[in-house]
């Protein structure tokens, strides 16, 4: 649907997933899904804008060489992924034990897969772990980009005063 630089794109599938996720969250909070064409189109536009914004940041991070994780960062991301997966698995192990499963670990994985399917997530627990890792890695890249911007940004007292004066004039 959208090309961002040479290495990034937003697919129609991603837009659909984002849109459906947003509609699901709306229903979770008791709001109705949009039915008017203009409202549906507006929500689709929001999905595109959010996805493009994220991919633009990733593109910028790559241009700056901030997209690769160091060994230490990769280990941190793996630890966060392992912690998340273990938390889920512990819950499913408890359910498997309560069922009286002979092979608690195998049943816990089945329950994990069933839970993913119930939420409409078309992946198994192994694929979910890879997805979680990629999500945490992406967060790490965003953190690195934010730090880079904060560390390299400079604003002089004159710039601050000029901005203040301009705002004061426009709002008076």
CA distance 44 to 1: 12
CA distance 44 to 39: 9
**Contact present, 83 and 132 (Cβ < 8 Å):** no
**Contact present, 104 and 89 (Cβ < 8 Å):** no
* pLDDT value, residue 105: 96
* pLDDT value, residue 34: 86
CA distance 11 to 22: 17
* pLDDT value, residue 122: 87
pLDDT at 33 over 90: no
pLDDT at 97 over 90: yes
* pLDDT value, residue 124: 95
Confidence of residue 159 (pLDDT cuts 50, 70, 90): very high
* pLDDT value, residue 94: 96
Which tokens in the block code for residue 114?
């069933």
* pLDDT value, residue 20: 86
SS3 for 34? coil
């Amino acid at each position: 649907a959208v090309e961002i630089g040479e290495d990034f794109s937003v697919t129609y599938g991603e837009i659909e997933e984002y849109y459906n996720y947003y509609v699901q969250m709306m229903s979770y909070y008791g709001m109705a899904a949009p039915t008017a064409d203009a409202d549906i189109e507006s929500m689709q536009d929001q999905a595109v804008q959010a996805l493009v914004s994220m991919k633009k940041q990733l593109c910028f991070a790559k241009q700056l060489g901030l997209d690769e994780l160091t060994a230490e960062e990769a280990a941190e991301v793996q630890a966060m992924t392992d912690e998340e997966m273990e938390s889920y698995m512990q819950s499913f192990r408890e359910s498997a034990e309560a069922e009286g499963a002979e092979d608690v670990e195998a049943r816990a994985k089945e329950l994990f897969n069933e839970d993913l399917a119930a939420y409409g997530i078309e992946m198994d627990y192994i694929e979910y772990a890879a997805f979680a890792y990629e999500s945490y890695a992406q967060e790490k890249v965003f953190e690195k980009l934010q730090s880079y911007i904060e560390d390299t940004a400079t604003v002089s007292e004159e710039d601050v005063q000029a901005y203040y004066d301009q705002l004061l004039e426009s709002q008076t």
